[in-house]
Amino acid sequence: MRTTKHWSKLAVLVMAFMLLVGASLTSAQDDTTAWWAEAGAQFAGVTLRGVSESTPASNYVKDVLAPQFTELTGINVELETTSWDQMYDKAIRDMEAGTGLYDFVYIEQDIIYGYLANEYLVDMTQALADNPELAAPEFSFDNFTTFVDYFKNDEGHVFGMPMEAFVKIYLYRTDLFEDADIMAAFEAEYGYPLAPATTHQQYTDIATFFTAYGEANDLDLWGTTVQAASGHPSSFYEFFESVAPTFGVYNWGINQETWKASVANGGEMNSDAAKEALAWWLNNLQFAPPESTSSTWDEVAASFAAGRAAQGLVYGENAAWIATDATRSNVVGNVGVALPPVEPGVMEAAEADTGYIGYYDGGAFGLPVSSQNQQATLLWLQFVGLPSVQAEWAAASSRIVMEPTYDDPLVVAMDEATNGYYSLMQDQGYLFAGAPPFPFHPQVREAVAPFIYRAIAGEITPAEALDGAAAAAEAELISLGYGS
Amino acid sequence: MRRTRTGWLLLSPTLIIMFIFGLFPFIYVLLVGFNDWNPFSARDGLTYIGVDNYRNLVFDNLFLNALGVTIRFTFFAVLSELIIGFLLANLLARDFFGKTLFRIVHTVPLMIAPIAVGAIWRLMTIPGFGPIPYFLDRWFDVSFNIGTSSDQAFLSILIMDIWHWTPFVTLTMLAGLTALPREPVEAAQVDGANRWQIFRHITLPLMRPVILTTVFIRVMDALRTVDEINMLTNGGGPGTSTRTLGIHIFRVVFPQTDYGYGSAMSLLTLYLTIVACWLLFVSLTQVRRNN
């Protein structure tokens, strides 16, 4: 009887505690909502315009976050999502001319150095310090992973609100790699077990094997994807940011002390390792779907999702939908992730932080100096950087910019669905690196890329391409005032 | 005096608009062309370099390649459109079953925006998915890949342009043919001239002003084609085999942000276009005078 009484008291206490916690949480949430409504009231009716690349992460911002923010604050947000090159053209033109058309622009990590050099962007750290009434209580730059460092100046001030970060990953088809008959056939042919490649030779063996397998079984299946559009910068990026580093050629082969690219002048762009890398990459074309020479990053993801390749290097932002969205992908549940294959010594260099094995991609939203609505945009960008909006966003577009997001149940579930993409990014993301800090990024790319295009088309050899590319890069650097 | 003042007053809105939207940009580009100006350069602002940009153009392989591609493209596209358009106009000048339907279907490409034309042809030619590579492979065992074959890519942009713009040539030719006086033809028929002689000595000379105008319009259009080729070959590939002057200038001015060099390139292209049109005009009017 006495025990029952105690239990009753305990139950009442627990219920009271839960009610208290619930009430305080609701109250906190109400406070938060009230803060945003109050902060946004003075800008209600204002429309903020932004431009971004049409990526899963940006589309989530447009479709989900922008309406949420409008509901909270009364501030409208119009995000124009367009192609990567159009996005840059529009943003740079607007900021260069100071027209103030856009209130926020997408800044891919590789262009930030150029934007900072041209003073296109508002110092967000300073702006929030100058306008404490606009600083959201739950927002802090300290919440972000070290990826935010890419968007800081020398003084540590932040100029871009991180909104996506992912690694370019090695995806493979688990249904093929784990098929007993296929595994036996592969081992019989190559003398070692079928598994995600850790070396370039293994990668080529696997590509060769599955291309032959597809042909023998009358399947639309090839050994690998190759992002080799023969007139589009995406092929330049796949080679210099994803393939060359796995051969130990970093930072596009440009010596950052002398601003030279050729071996003769201390660079590495036309080194033997770079030429070997380009030859290897181009050789993969024969094991790739025929659309590969017209494939940019989007088409590579689409080819893999269509089940046309057994393996490939794919931008991680696509991992979630490829692995889980049955309306767009034929390989749902059959996607494995691994680190890219590397040459001996490259992994050790990456672990020692003297090299890297691939591209850590991502971007932020920047606030142009020319924006006519800087204060309202500051509010909006903080909203994008709130911890509370991160998990669903991460699950929808496999991007993570805050450490705690990895532990969210939604992300943990997606991690399982993608066979560990998120874990890999969390645990081994440090092996990858963003683009080198070049303020002349698109300029040198445009000078070098035609040589890569011509090599893809078979007009010149890999060696000729990189010799020409190194000379063109140096000429462009000199014309831009770097080196002599 | 008063009449003159009123005249200038009435003209002034047009002159102001022409200055702002026509003359001012031209003068601006002219001035920028004499400078080194890249906002991503280590140097700030514009640096006057005289005619260096123009001198560099002469030795710029990419520019010369783009110029060659543009000339080849313009020549073959306009010539093909002229021949096919003229033949179709002659066909449409007669009565036959289904003529109205044929004329409508034939004119449809003209109504499509160039960027959409590029997208349609890209979908049709993309290796692995497009119907053109598929059927060429299946029926003729021809491997068609515009991502690797320069010739096939160039042929594709030519066929696309011919498909898109031949209806325009057909319509202008048809307008010219229907407006021709009947008397000379009837007189020739009475004199016993055959159809070829009538075509050669009457129709063709009478149609010359229409042909001349059509060629002018098409040459100027073809020289500045950008969007449909850019869309079809993903920026002028493979390599630089379909990179026309328009695409090249776009890449230099926008992604490369080399405003000075791009301005010089634009002006030289404008100059070459004017010279080409002038030569064309002089040669055609000379032929007319000789006749």
With beta carbons less than 8 A apart as the criterion, state whether A278 and A458 touch: no
Q: Which residue of A has its CA nearest to B232?
A: A294
**Burial class of residue A279 in the structure, from the number of CB atoms within 10 Å of its CB (0-12 exposed, 13-18 middle, 19+ buried):** middle
Question: A86 vs chain B: nearest CA distance in angstroms?
Answer: 9
Residues B62-119: pLDDT tens digits?
999 999 999 999 999 999 999 999 999 999 998 999 999 999 999 999 999 999 999 9
Least CB–CB distance from B42: residue in A231, A458, A480: A480
Least CB–CB distance from B255: residue in A291, A296, A442: A442
- Amino acid letter for position B237: G
With beta carbons less than 8 A apart as the criterion, state whether A171 and A335 touch: yes
Q: Computed over its alpha carbons, how large is the radius of gyration of chain B?
A: 24
For residue A420, the model assigns a pLDDT of 96
For residue B244, the model assigns a pLDDT of 96
Instruction: Provide the sign of the torsion angle of the four alpha carbons B93, B97, B103, B109, taken in this order.
Output: negative
- Amino acid letter for position A250: Y
For residue A18, the model assigns a pLDDT of 59
Q: Give the least confident one: A29-38, A50-59, A129-138, A391-400.
A: A29-38
Residues in chain A: 484
| pLDDT exceeds 70 at position A152 | yes
| pLDDT exceeds 90 at position A22 | no
Q: Give the least confident one: A24-28, A251-255, A283-287, B236-240.
A: A24-28
Question: A205 vs chain B: nearest CA distance in angstroms?
Answer: 23
pTM of the complete model: 0.89
Residues A102-140: pLDDT tens digits?
999 999 988 998 899 889 999 999 999 999 999 999 999
Q: Identify whether B238 is preceded by a cis peptide bond (ω within 30 of 0).
A: yes
| pLDDT exceeds 90 at position A413 | yes
B129 contacts chain A (CB < 8 A): yes
For residue A20, the model assigns a pLDDT of 57
Contact: B40, A96; criterion CB under 8 Å: no
A438 contacts chain B (CB < 8 A): no
- Where does the pLDDT of residue A15 fall: very low under 50, low under 70, confident under 90, or very high at 90 and above? low
Record the tokens describing residue A9, joined without a space. 């008291």
For residue A21, the model assigns a pLDDT of 54
- Cβ-Cβ contacts under 8 Å, B129 against chain A: 291
Question: Which among A426, A421, A393 has a CA at the least distance from the CA of A407?
Answer: A426
Contact: A480, B257; criterion CB under 8 Å: no
Residue identified by tokens 């606009």 is A134
Q: What is the mean pLDDT of residues A272-284?
A: 98
Question: A238 vs chain B: nearest CA distance in angstroms?
Answer: 16
Residue identified by tokens 């850590």 is A360
A119 contacts chain B (CB < 8 A): no
A290 contacts chain B (CB < 8 A): yes
- Cβ-Cβ contacts under 8 Å, B133 against chain A: 290
- Amino acid letter for position A42: Q
**Burial class of residue A95 in the structure, from the number of CB atoms within 10 Å of its CB (0-12 exposed, 13-18 middle, 19+ buried):** buried
B254 contacts chain A (CB < 8 A): yes
Least CB–CB distance from B128: residue in A114, A291, A479: A291
Residue identified by tokens 């949420």 is A68
For residue B65, the model assigns a pLDDT of 96
**Which one-letter DSSP state was computed for residue A328?**
T
B252 contacts chain A (CB < 8 A): yes
- Which ipTM score applies to this complex? 0.87
For residue A24, the model assigns a pLDDT of 52
Record the tokens describing residue B48, joined without a space. 């006057």
List, for chain B, all residue ranges whose pLDDT scores fall below the cut of 50.
none
- Amino acid letter for position B53: N
